[in-house]
Amino acid sequence: MTLSAAAEGHARKILAILKDWNLHPGECQMLKVIEKDFIDAGGRLEDCVEGFEYGVEKGWWNLSGFEAFLTEKGAAEMI
């Protein structure tokens, strides 16, 4: 995947959502819940998926099944 500025913006929107929930490294949130909040904030599902992919490539979270697990690297990007 080519990392784009738009994809980074979408991933940062996901980080903001995780920060609003006060998620800490090693903790997880259901993908569907993140998607819902992303869409409720005016985003599109396609953009959310692109953001998830960007975050995985950057090591900000790991995806497992139906959950996203925040990493230390991702938590550092929340600041």
Task: Strands of the chain (E only): list them.
Answer: 28-30, 61-64, 67-70
Q: How many domains does the chain have?
A: 1
Q: What is the pLDDT of residues 37-78, one digit of tens each?
A: 999 999 999 999 999 999 999 999 999 999 999 999 999 999
Is 73 inside a domain boundary? yes
Enumerate helices (H) and strands (E) in the chain, giving the number of each: 4, 3
Is 19 inside a domain boundary? no
Is 18 inside a domain boundary? no
Task: Provide the whole-model pTM.
Answer: 0.93
Partners of 28 in the β-ladder = 69
Domain holding 9, by residue range, is 5-13+24-77
